[in-house]
A = this chain, B = another copy of it.
Amino acid sequence: MAMDHAAAEGDHLAAERAAARFDVEAMKVAWAGSRHAVDVADRMARLVASDPVFRKDNRTMLSRKDLFKDTLRKAAHAWKRIVELRLTEEEASLLRQYVDQPGYVDLHWGMFVPAIKGQGTEEQQKKWLPLAYKFQIIGCYAQTELGHGSNVQGLETTATFDPKTDGFVIHSPTLTSSKWWPGGLGKASTHAVVYARLITEGKDYGIHGFIVQLRSLEDHSPLPGVTLGDIGGKFGSGAYNSMDNGVLRFDHVRIPRDQMLMRLSQVTREGKYVNSDVPKQLLYGTMVYVRQSIVADASKALSRAVCIAVRYSAIRKQFGSQDGGPETQVLNYRTQQSRLFPLLASAYAFRFVGDWLNWLYTDVTQKLEAKDYSTLQEAHACTAGLKAVTTSATADAIEECRKLCGGHGYLNSSGLPELFAVYVPACTYEGDNVVLLLQVARILMKTVSQLTSGKQPVGTMAYMGKVQHLMQSKCAVKTAEDWLNPAFIQEAFEARALRMAVNCAQNIGQAANQEEGSIYIIQHHIPFSLLNCTCSVLFGINCTSDDCAPCRFL
């Protein structure tokens, strides 16, 4: 929006940057979390950008096969550099992040290793983790089946204990029981953590995890009884097509008993099913961890999209020419700003709420280890809700940024089509967003219903305890500047959120059954919840209701 010497010469980006009215270095540190984090990120980004093996400019032009080879090459090269440069775990993780190409290593480090750490006994960890750390085995995470995604309890693969051989027989009894989707499964993995129904002594004990070898460590061919393949092309060019999402079927494959992950429960030599004294709630800690990392990723994806759209808007000029003079930078149109800047603000909001979720994870883990489950429900609501809100908003925002780049956003060279295609599965994986939001709604409704009984809500729902005040409070803001006072903003959010929740509870109280209630929530709250009312301060979108204080000012 600056108009000075640099702009007159045509370097609009330099002019905009020179016009910043805040300390850019300080903002970098705030974004990254610390000066150290900025430095490491800069160093790893340069390492990737300067290495021709990591080039990305041709990614959308490669055939599927060449793209997959390119992914293998990058993964191997990244590993080589990590070893050569003796990178720390923090550095290695950032390097992989900047390589920015979905591949089997994501599942190996992100799911296979954590599953063994979280669900394996100490012995199992001692045996399998060193192999995984040195890449002597490559692991994936085989949970989803062709017929079962959200309904994990409905998985059909069986693991039947056979006391004669002291092992399990892994089997795919139906077509729908085929493992379907696991990343890294189609081509790369040698092993998988396979989720299957544990059957022993004729009884079905539900879903448990098993370490199963899939391919030979000699020649990488599938082991007897194992049928494997790639499930084909996915959304976009580039994007997740670099990943070998796979299909897997078992025909009575035998594994030793000690390859059942036995931290939470065991099958004895005799075939007895025994629970250990480790609380099952610990598994929630893993879920909180995975979802907080998804929220952090939302901020990264959104900030990239917004960065592209803001730069484009600074350079692109259209209309507004006086007497044949230069046209107006698109960035200077308030119609463009009103669509773009709320997305920019959201990227920062998601960044900082991601940090808070990280704190929540630490807090929940400590409490769980002390067998304190009092905040578990609220922590679940926070992570589920924030996972859904941030991923839905980010997916929509990437597409909005693409549209804000006009026709040019449709070119792969803008980077936005690939970013959208690689991002949108986040709305589905680790909990479908609509399913998650309904879970949050139910917890909110339960909390509202308990307000009259004197039960005090905890954590982020504590404000609901002020129900008497919030249902009647009038906003004390007098001038637009008053909104710079966080206390006013917070009370506006609290009042609006509580009033919506109470209103919703009253309405679904009239619903005939739970499903009717869900419909009400989906129709009235979910489509608008991200951008309406309570979020008007954050997202800059105003509602038109009279009881929404921010809208009287913004």
A residues lining the B interface (CB < 8 Å): 60-61, 63-64, 144, 147-151, 154, 181, 231-237, 240-241, 317-319, 321, 327, 333-335, 338-339, 399, 402-403, 406-407, 409-413, 417, 420-421, 424-425, 427-429, 432-434, 438, 503, 515-516, 518-519, 522-524, 527-528, 531, 540-542, 544-545
Contact B234 A410 (CB under 8 A): yes
- Contact check, A429 vs B403: say whether CB atoms are below 8 A apart: no
Q: A149-B318, A428-B410 are in contact. Are A334 and B417 (CB under 8 A)?
A: no
Please give, as numbers and ranges, the residues of chain B lying within 8 Å of A410 by CB-CB distance.
Answer: 234-235, 240, 424-425, 428
Q: Which residues of B contact A240 (CB under 8 A)?
A: 410
Copies of this chain, complex-wide, total 2
A149-B407, A527-B531 given; A235·B412 CB < 8 A: yes
Residues of B within 8 A of A540 (CB): 523
Q: Which of B64, B407, B515 contacts A425 (CB 8 A)?
A: B407
CB distance from A318 to the nearest CB of B (A): 5
User: Dominant SS at the A interface?
Assistant: helix
* CB contact under 8 A between A236 and B237, given known A428-B403, A523-B540, A527-B541: yes
| Residues of B contacting A438 in the complex (Cβ-Cβ under 8 angstroms) | 335
Measured CA separation A519–B424 after assembly (Å) = 29
- B residues less than 8 Å from A522 (CB atoms): 335, 338-339
Residue contacts A-B, CB under 8 angstroms, 30 given: A148-B318, A149-B407, A150-B318, A181-B407, A233-B412, A234-B410, A234-B411, A235-B236, A235-B410, A235-B417, A235-B420, A235-B421, A236-B236, A236-B421, A237-B237, A335-B434, A335-B438, A335-B515, A338-B519, A403-B427, A403-B428, A407-B425, A407-B429, A409-B428, A410-B424, A410-B425, A417-B421, A524-B542, A528-B528, A545-B545
Residues in B neighbouring A318, C-beta threshold 8 A: 148-151, 154
Would you call A234 and B417 a contact (CB within 8 A)? yes
Docked-complex contact A234 and B151, CB < 8 angstroms? no
- Picked from B338, B411, B424, B515, the residue with its CB within 8 Å of the CB of A523 is B338
A31 to chain B, nearest CB (A): 27
**Chain B residues whose C-beta falls within 8 Å of the C-beta of A232 in the assembled complex:** 61, 411-413
A201 → chain B closest CB, angstroms: 18
Complex interface: chain B residues within 8 A of A151 (CB): 318-319, 327
- Complex CA gap A338/B520 in Å reads 10
Chain B residues near A64 (CB-CB < 8 A): 61
Q: How far is the CB of A512 from the nearest CB of chain B, in Å?
A: 11
Cβ of A413: which chain B residues have Cβ within 8 Å of it? 232-233
- In the bound complex, CA of A241 to CA of B527 (Å): 33
Question: Which B-chain residue is minimally distant from A516 (CB atoms)?
Answer: B334
CB nearest to A324 among chain B residues: B204
A522 to chain B, nearest CB (A): 5
Within 8 Å CB of A61, what residues of B? 64, 232-233
What are the residues of chain B within 8 A of A417 when measuring CB–CB?
Answer: 234-236, 421
Knowing A154-B319, A237-B233, the reply to whether A339 touches B434 (Cβ < 8 A) is: yes
Name the CB-closest residue of B to A144: B407
Q: Are B519 and A234 neighbours in the complex by a CB distance under 8 Å?
A: no
Contacts of A433 in B (CB 8 A): 403
B524 close to A544 (CB less than 8 A): yes
A334-B154 in contact (CB<8A): no
- Which one of A60, A321, A503, A545 has the highest number of Cβ atoms from chain B below 10 Å of its Cβ? A60
| Nearest chain B residue, comparing its CB with the CB of A61 | B233
* Complex Cα spacing A321 to B153, Å: 10
- CB of B519 within 8 A of CB of A335, answer yes
CB pair A519–B434 under 8 Å, yes or no, is no
The 5 A-B pairs with the shortest beta carbon distances in the complex, nearest first, are: A235-B417, A233-B412, A151-B319, A237-B237, A63-B63
Most interface-central of A63, A421, A432, A544 (chain B CB within 10 A): A544
Given A150-B318, A154-B327; 13 other pairs, CB 8 A cutoff: A150-B319, A154-B319, A232-B413, A234-B412, A234-B417, A235-B417, A334-B518, A335-B519, A335-B522, A399-B424, A403-B428, A407-B428, A410-B428
Residues of chain B within 8 A (CB-CB) of A519 are 334-335, 338
Q: What CA separation (Å) do A48 and B237 show in the bound complex? A: 27
- Chain B nearest CB: distance from A12 CB in Å? 13
Complex CA–CA separation, A350 to B348 (angstroms):
39
**How far, in angstroms, from A529 to B427 measured CA to CA in the complex?**
24
B residues in contact with A150, CB < 8 Å: 318-319, 406
Tell me how far the C-beta of A517 lies from the nearest C-beta in chain B, rounded to whole angstroms.
Answer: 10
Task: Look across to chain B and name the residue whose beta carbon is closest to the beta carbon of A176.
Answer: B317
Whether A428 lies near B406 (C-beta < 8 A) is yes
Docked complex Cα distance between A338 and B526 (Å): 12
Q: Is the pair B412, A515 in contact by a Cβ cutoff of 8 Å?
A: no
